[in-house]
């Protein structure tokens, strides 16, 4: 149980285009999902907390207009990187929270490369 999927697993796009990444909890409902960014050989950097039916909460320094988050249902959150630039290239990972003890289950990640 507690499986989280992400799609796509890998995407290459041109500078200036927008990219949407989906995060789904497959066998449970998640009122809260989290989006992280990970640079090579580094830890996870929390970007935002996504709450179903309400606006996402962004961490300091994360541009909300650039990284659009939508949590339209209890099993789906999306991250859209708008007008992507090469510096946005990174590994993006989502997680879904479930249970009383704040357990988070992670998706497999999405490798974004902006040319």
Partner 1 sequence: AQSVTQPDIHITVSEGASLELRCNYSYGATPYLFWYVQSPGQGLQLLLKYFSGDTLVQGIKGFEAEFKRSQSSFNLRKPSVHWSDAAEYFCAVGAAGNTPLVFGKGTRLSVIA
- Using CB under 8 A as the criterion, which residues of the chain lie in contact with partner 1 when the complex forms? 4, 6, 32, 34, 41-44, 46, 49, 51, 91, 93, 95, 97, 100-109, 111
CB of 61 to partner 1, least distance (A): 15
| CA-closest candidate to residue 82, choices 52, 57, 106, 62 | 62
Closer to partner 1 by CB, 59 or 83: give it. 59
| Nearer Cβ to partner 1 (14/41) | 41
Tokens of 49: 């907390």
* Helix H or strand E segment including 48: strand 44-51
Taking the complex as a whole, the smallest distance from the CB of residue 11 to partner 1 amounts, in Å, to 14
Query: Which C-beta is closer to partner 1: that of 56 or that of 84?
Result: 56
95, exposed or middle or buried, with CB in 10 Å at 0-12, 13-18, 19+?
buried
């Amino acid at each position: 149980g507690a499986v989280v999927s992400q799609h796509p697993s890998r995407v290459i796009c041109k500078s200036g285009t927008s990219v949407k990444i989906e995060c789904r909890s497959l066998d449970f409902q998640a009122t809260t999902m989290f989006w992280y960014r990970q640079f090579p050989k580094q830890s996870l950097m929390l970007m935002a907390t996504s709450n179903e039916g309400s606006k996402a909460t962004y961490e300091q320094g994360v541009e909300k207009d650039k990284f659009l988050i939508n949590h339209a249902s209890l099993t789906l959150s999306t991250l859209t990187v708008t007008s992507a630039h090469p510096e946005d290239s990174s590994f993006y990972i989502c997680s879904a929270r479930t249970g009383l003890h704040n357990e988070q289950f992670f998706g497999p990640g999405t490798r974004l490369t902006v040319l």
